[in-house]
Amino acid sequence: MNKVILMGRLTRDPEIRYGGANNTAVAKFSFAVPRKFKRDNEPDCDFINCTAFGKTAEFIEKYCMKGTKLLLEGRWQTGSYTNLSLIHISEPTRP
């Protein structure tokens, strides 16, 4: 099972695009999730890049902006690539 539930706030206004065969809405946004415990010299929240599709993306476009508090439910997916310096990068792509 691949399921994640996050609560936090948008760190910037969502970027909305329409594309694909059915002109589907795609929303990309950054999400800050506060940590329960803070250690010395560590940030007190995690920043996660998210992508939403279809009706969810349209809802985000209409009702959400920087600072909006949300509860997200979705799946976690990672992607990897090799950058121009030939360093292999692995990062989350969306919850």
pLDDT (tens digit per residue) in 82-94: 767 777 666 655 4
Helix (H, G, I), strand (E, B) or coil at 93: strand
Q: In Å, how far are 22, 28, 39, 91 from 95, measured between CA atoms?
A: 23, 11, 25, 12
Strand partners, 9: 32, 69
Q: What span, in angstroms and rounded, lies between the C-alpha atoms of 58 and 56?
A: 5
Strand partners, 72: 6
pLDDT (tens digit per residue) in 45-91: 888 888 899 999 999 999 999 999 999 998 887 777 676 777 766 66
